[in-house]
Structure 1
């Protein structure tokens, strides 16, 4: 059986780019702007509040994991009340490598891991549009086990600690994306797959992207009326069924063009278009470049990167 989420995650190539341990004490508030970067927060001990632009604050407790695939305005504050006109807290670097916010003296009441993950795919923006805007995981036994492993690594400070932490966080990211039960996910693929009927239709689109699907045919797969399916899909996934199918076809096409997996006509057929010209029009409208030009620019980019890397090594003395 085709696994749509696994396909999206595989193309995304998630990784742990940057993380830092933060401890908090007393009353504090802090705000950050991440310009669309993927942001995550793992609460190891205690609790805090998190607020995104246009959303009600969320209370985070020990063991909670938050993933925001494209973060912009993110505000965090202590559970303790703080006046609205109080200045924002500035993290203070400690000798232990952690950062402290709030009261600088006395016992801490919060320990968390925050940072940026990375999506290695050049099409991250396109693929992120298929994911929820916010994933909040709580009470997942598998996630709790991973959290405990992360907590132990931070405390023990054993050899290869950073390598292990990076791998554990990568697994956390994937586990969070596929967690559905007990997850307050915003509209996106995760929420769509949590709906048994919609999940059938989504899997069919991934199994047979070449098929000339219609809303009526997909509704039949989901055992729903056309109108009920359309509204239910749009509310859960955040896109209309045909918009989702187009986004997935374009993601597949871009990956094939990047990997030089055939000519334009062949790729057109593999993603459900009856002719190269119809595919080129759709691709150009969606991506902003004709497929042949996109493939050429991707090849040139890879060649330039390889040439730059060889040049940097050429000037180094032999060991």
Structure 2
């Protein structure tokens, strides 16, 4: 698979809520921290401000699309001077999906999705993404229009099968937004998506993801990128926020975490499959990167998964 598909396969995003808001007059809504979740939004009509904690305010317009990968708290408002309402109160009536109306409606319309990350190493992977992914209408946001339009129809009409259609549409929006950002991300940005948009770094990342077990060196990756070793190292660090070998280690640990969830996968085999010569070398690297030995991590992860499954069943 390509790097974007690789990462999304390990993140395993699951759509848990899709809703729309039709607002009139002035309004402001405060959204709490989202935890290990990704939030997306599409502006159907009108304008509003988006303020993510720690970031500068962003004015959103018709056909703009945003994606928030880190679960930070954020504010959406027609006027930043207004005292905000709590999102839980505003959207209580549509906690299972639908369209909420503020005032008389008609001035502003938007749609949003919330995804939980079910991959075992989601936090490690989402940190490779920027705090805010913004796709302007002129940069491809309008190409998401048919998905947004269909989503609005399903949310408004709630026909038979709508729940399933909505989940699939949400997944398609997420992938398309990340794909657009990877293809058209602004030059000079920092983050994994910006690196994919860079032709040289994208080539190196594609090669690394295609064969993570290879004994890669910085010189090897530089050759894939068509750059000198020194220039590549600097460019890679600026583009991804990580040194090349640090990125390789992080990706290998993410692959290992996925494999460790399967009890029939021997640690020695996992070690070889992701590029380590021995179980002990892998275990040392895993503990250094993740914070505990592989077996301990696997026990904790499976116990947590079991508890989550029981809670869901109850």
Give the TM bin, normalised by the shorter chain: 0.7 to 0.9
Instruction: Assess, with a 3 A threshold, how the Cα gap between structure 1 residues 200 and 99 changes in structure 2: closer, same or farther.
Output: same
Partner of 2:110: 112
Distance 1:125 1:73 in 2: 16
- Structure 1 unaligned runs (5+)? 313-319
**Partners of 1:94 and 1:100 within 8 A in 2:** no
Q: Give 3-state SS (helix, strand or coil) of 1:71's partner.
A: coil
Partner of 2:14: 15
Instruction: Assess, with a 3 A threshold, how the Cα gap between structure 1 residues 62 and 68 changes in structure 2: closer, same or farther.
Output: same
Instruction: Assess, with a 3 A threshold, how the Cα gap between structure 1 residues 34 and 50 changes in structure 2: closer, same or farther.
Output: same
**Partners of 1:133 and 1:187 within 8 A in 2:** no
TM-score (norm 2): 0.85
Q: Encode CA deviations 1:60-85: one digit per residue, 9 max, x unaligned.
A: 2222221111121312111xx55x3x
Partner of 2:101: 100
TM-score (norm 1): 0.84
For residue 251 of structure 1, report the CA deviation from its aligned partner.
0.5
**Partners of 1:4 and 1:206 within 8 A in 2:** yes
Q: Which entry has the higher C-alpha Rg, 1 or 2?
A: 1
**Partners of 2:120 and 2:301 within 8 A in 1:** no
For residue 161 of structure 1, report the CA deviation from its aligned partner.
2.2
| Larger proportion of helix | 2
Partner of 1:88: 84
Q: Encode CA deviations 1:249-293: one digit per residue, 9 max, x unaligned.
A: 001111111123532222111111122111111111112221122
Partner of 1:178: 179
Write the mapping of 1:1-319 to structure 2, written as runs, cut at 5 A. 2-36=1-35, 37-78=37-78, 81=79, 84=81, 86-89=82-85, 92=90, 98-101=99-102, 104-105=103-104, 107-139=105-137, 140=140, 142-179=143-180, 180-183=182-185, 187-260=190-263, 262-300=265-303, 308=310
Distance 2:5 2:99 in 1: 34
Q: Encode CA deviations 1:141-197: one digit per residue, 9 max, x unaligned.
A: 642221221122234442222321122111111111222344459633221111111
**Partners of 1:46 and 1:111 within 8 A in 2:** yes
Instruction: Assess, with a 3 A threshold, how the Cα gap between structure 1 residues 235 and 93 changes in structure 2: closer, same or farther.
Output: closer
Instruction: Assess, with a 3 A threshold, how the Cα gap between structure 1 residues 43 and 150 changes in structure 2: closer, same or farther.
Output: same
RMSD over aligned CA atoms reads 2.8
Q: How many residues align?
A: 303
Instruction: Please say which of residues 241-250 and 142-151 is displaced more in the overlay.
Output: 142-151
Q: Give 3-state SS (helix, strand or coil) of 1:17's partner.
A: strand
Q: Encode CA deviations 1:213-255: one digit per residue, 9 max, x unaligned.
A: 2222211221112222122212222222122111100011111
- Structure 2 unaligned runs (5+)? none
